[in-house]
Chains A and B, each alone.
Chain A
Amino acid sequence: MNSLLPWCSLLLPLVSAIAITLFTHRSRALSSFISIGAVLGSFVCSCLIFTRHGISAREFNWIDFVGVFRVPFGFVLDNLSKTMLVLVSGVGSLIHIYSLGYMRDDEGKSRYFAALSLFMFAMLGIVLSNNFVMLFVFWELVGFTSYVLIGHWFERDAAADAAKKAFITTRIGDFGFMLGILMVWAATGSVVFAEIAPRLSTVTSHPAFLTTAALLIFCGAVGKSAQFPLHVWLPDAMEGPTPVSALIHAATMVAAGVYMLVRVGFIIQASQAALLVIAWIGTITAMLAALIATQQNDIKRILAYSTLSQLGYMVMAVGLASNEAAMFHLFTHAFFKALLFLAAGSVIVMLHHEQNIWKMGGLSRNLPITFLTFGAGALALIGCPPFSGFFSKDAILAVAYERNMPIFVVGLLTAFLTAFYVIRLFVVVFFGKARSEIARKSNESPAVMTGPLIALAFLATLGGFAFFARNFLVLPLEKNIALFVPALAIIALVLGSGLAITLYHNRKSERFDIELFRRLFYFNEFYSWLINWTQEFLARISAFCDRWIIDAGVVGGTSGGTWGIGALLRLVQGGNLQAYLFLFGLGIVTLIYFAVFH
């Protein structure tokens, strides 16, 4: 039955964003309350949608060229999207409440909350849309709002540059995405997901076309979910406020890529080659990020690279044709990653915006709640049972073991590295002696910040259990090797943690210095060289065109040609009377000829 609930859920944040931008810009407190109210309202609607059955929403035709191109404005409300709705709005609400504390003294609070509301609107739009074009519109809107949010402190050059980098890099992915959408539309004549699925059989006989379309669509996910090679924007995006990092880069935006891949899974799974490429890209990303994270010293950067790594796992799962495992990991990852970011934010704020882990230490005594919740999140991240991360990561590794052994081995190694760098972070920040004055004098965060932390900690702990998760997702099936793979994973985990503890317990500074990892495998340098080279090249061509074709050719040619013709014609007017007469007579003879004799 048609209902207004999906519309409410989607549009409340939009209304809040508009209201804040237009009306309540001056009053920071009022703006924050409007925004929090809107997202809570959205969450309530999402829960209502989730609990009731058979809810559907009316579909409007936005663009309709009959028979050729139809873009409706409609919602898809199956279990997947309902779960994502609850997840996105729930985590979003917690982060809104947390922001109240984190951004308390910030000048641009109204702007921040307006952008946050707009982001929620766009993200919910992505979750709910039932066709490619609407998805793409919201996709771009998410990109834009994340630009605004990352560059919130835009007076700082680093933040402005990071926002630009994020936008441009995801834009490159979106270009591929758009090409993929066009290819699918060209093949099947429709952009609506439900209509494409049955028509896909027309394309399956052209494997190359299908693979290209699938891979181009995957480009969008590569950009948005920061896979290799477009991963360079995610770490720099840590220049934004920590709640932004939590919301965007842990729980929602980067997960949008994975969600999209699952949504159009029927297209991707039709091509084996595309699946293989996707799986390997996910694996490479996971491994790359884990290696880099072992050498980072900024708490948010380490968490950013861990996000990259976990996203790699999810994409790996999609590439192994197990959408269920991917969504399960996305689900649990949202909880524990948001928790980790918010806890890190709590640490940062209490240490007066100090982010270098080698200036922290011994915080387990000063910030107990943060310590406990961070610990829960960290254990979930490394996949320690009984935390939620264990179940989801294990599901992915099991699928890999079954279907692609090399990927399984790399995945296992990455799990080892994950344990290593996470425990390294945990040990250095919370144990041992305080390494600086600020660390020694820090206190626990206010309740408005620790409240969401506790809530998320519960979810991170319990979220993996079947009895909880089963209500939300289709869980991946357990197989006969149910014990072998988890055992290997636990061994990797223990080895990694042990190594980290022995190496970093009570150290004053970083022990190793592996430049390759520390310099992020020189990706940024490579990209800037590439852009520089391309620009040089294009500039040279443009200069050539401008100088020789336009200036000399067209302009010079026109003027020179006119001058030349003028010089020629000038010879007619010689001032010689008899020459004029001669021409005159010639003209008359010709005229008479044509008048009389023709």
Chain B
Amino acid sequence: MVTLGDYLIVSGILFAIGFAGVMLRRNLIIILMSLELMLNAANLSLVAFSRFRVQPMGLPDYNVQVFVFFIITVAAAEVAVGLAIIVALYRARQTTDVNDIKSLRF
């Protein structure tokens, strides 16, 4: 039988993959995509807990699912804005390489 722990471990692995992606890739778009992976990992563990905490009525805890809904919405808005920034950056620097935007240094 699948336990809660399994879902949480899967969520953890997904999070680690996303984190590695953010740290190791140079392309900004790929970084943004890895960021989405991390968010979704969090969503997964939230939903798992929502299913786990069954209310007295026999229903899962829908409060958590409302929270997940909000996360998805906000993530969408954030991706939109992030991509707009990348477009503006590309227009200014003609590159999406994260190593080329180092001017905010000492």
The closest CB in chain A to the CB of B20 belongs to: A585
Chain A residues in 8 Å Cβ range of B102: 574-576
Among the listed B19, B98, B103, B106, which residue makes an inter-chain contact with A573, where contact means beta carbons less than 8 Å apart? B106
Q: How many A-B residue pairs have CB under 8 A?
A: 27
The closest CB in chain A to the CB of B103 belongs to: A575
- What's the dominant secondary structure at chain A's contact region? helix
Q: B92 contacts the other chain (Cβ, under 8 Å)?
A: no
CB distance from B86 to the nearest CB of A (A): 13
Query: Interface code A290-303, partner B: CB below 8 Å = 1, 0 otherwise?
Result: 00000000000000
How far apart sit A400 and B103, CA to CA, in the bound complex (Å)? 98
Query: Interface code A575-588, partner B: CB below 8 Å = 1, 0 otherwise?
Result: 11110011001000
Chain A residues in 8 Å Cβ range of B47: none
How far apart sit A575 and B102, CA to CA, in the bound complex (Å)? 5
Q: A570 contacts the other chain (Cβ, under 8 Å)?
A: yes
Among the listed B22, B26, B99, B106, which residue makes an inter-chain contact with A581, where contact means beta carbons less than 8 Å apart? B22
B99 pairs with A576, CB closer than 8 A:
yes
The closest CB in chain B to the CB of A573 belongs to: B106
Chain B residues in 8 Å Cβ range of A575: 101-105
B23 pairs with A570, CB closer than 8 A:
no
Q: B24 contacts the other chain (Cβ, under 8 Å)?
A: yes
The closest CB in chain A to the CB of B105 belongs to: A575
CB contact list, A559-580 vs B, under 8 A: 570, 573-578
How far apart sit A355 and B58, CA to CA, in the bound complex (Å)? 130
The closest CB in chain B to the CB of A584 belongs to: B23
Chain A residues in 8 Å Cβ range of B104: 575
CB distance from B39 to the nearest CB of A (A): 16
How far apart sit A272 and B24, CA to CA, in the bound complex (Å)? 94
Chain A residues in 8 Å Cβ range of B101: 575, 577
CB distance from B10 to the nearest CB of A (A): 19
Chain A residues in 8 Å Cβ range of B22: 578, 581
Chain B residues in 8 Å Cβ range of A581: 22-23
Among the listed A570, A578, A582, which residue makes an inter-chain contact with B98, where contact means beta carbons less than 8 Å apart? A578
The closest CB in chain A to the CB of B106 belongs to: A570
How far apart sit A585 and B23, CA to CA, in the bound complex (Å)? 9
Query: Interface code B77-106, partner A: CB below 8 Å = 1, 0 otherwise?
Result: 000000000000000000000110111111
CB distance from B8 to the nearest CB of A (A): 15
CB contact list, B59-92 vs A, under 8 A: none
Interface centre among B26, B103, B105, B106, by most chain A C-beta atoms within 10 angstroms, is B106
CB distance from B25 to the nearest CB of A (A): 9
Chain A residues in 8 Å Cβ range of B99: 576, 578
Chain A residues in 8 Å Cβ range of B98: 576-578
CB distance from B97 to the nearest CB of A (A): 11
How far apart sit A448 and B92, CA to CA, in the bound complex (Å)? 109
CB distance from A579 to the nearest CB of B (A): 9
Interface centre among B23, B24, B101, B104, by most chain A C-beta atoms within 10 angstroms, is B23
Query: Interface code B20-51, partner A: CB below 8 Å = 1, 0 otherwise?
Result: 00111010000000000000000000000000
How far apart sit A574 and B104, CA to CA, in the bound complex (Å)? 8
How far apart sit A508 and B59, CA to CA, in the bound complex (Å)? 140
CB distance from B45 to the nearest CB of A (A): 16
B23 pairs with A578, CB closer than 8 A:
yes
> Do A582 and B23 form a contact, CB below 8 Å, given A576-B99, A577-B98?
yes
27 A-B contact pairs sorted by A residue (CB < 8 Å): A570-B106, A573-B105, A573-B106, A574-B102, A574-B105, A574-B106, A575-B101, A575-B102, A575-B103, A575-B104, A575-B105, A576-B98, A576-B99, A576-B102, A577-B98, A577-B101, A578-B22, A578-B23, A578-B24, A578-B26, A578-B98, A578-B99, A581-B22, A581-B23, A582-B23, A585-B19, A585-B23
Name 12 extra pairs, CB < 8 A, besides A581-B23, A585-B19. Answer: A574-B102, A574-B105, A575-B105, A576-B98, A576-B99, A576-B102, A577-B101, A578-B23, A578-B24, A578-B26, A578-B99, A582-B23
Could you tell me which B residues sit within 8 Å of A by CB distance?
Answer: 19, 22-24, 26, 98-99, 101-106
Shortest 3 CB-CB contacts between residues of A and residues of B: A575-B105, A575-B102, A570-B106
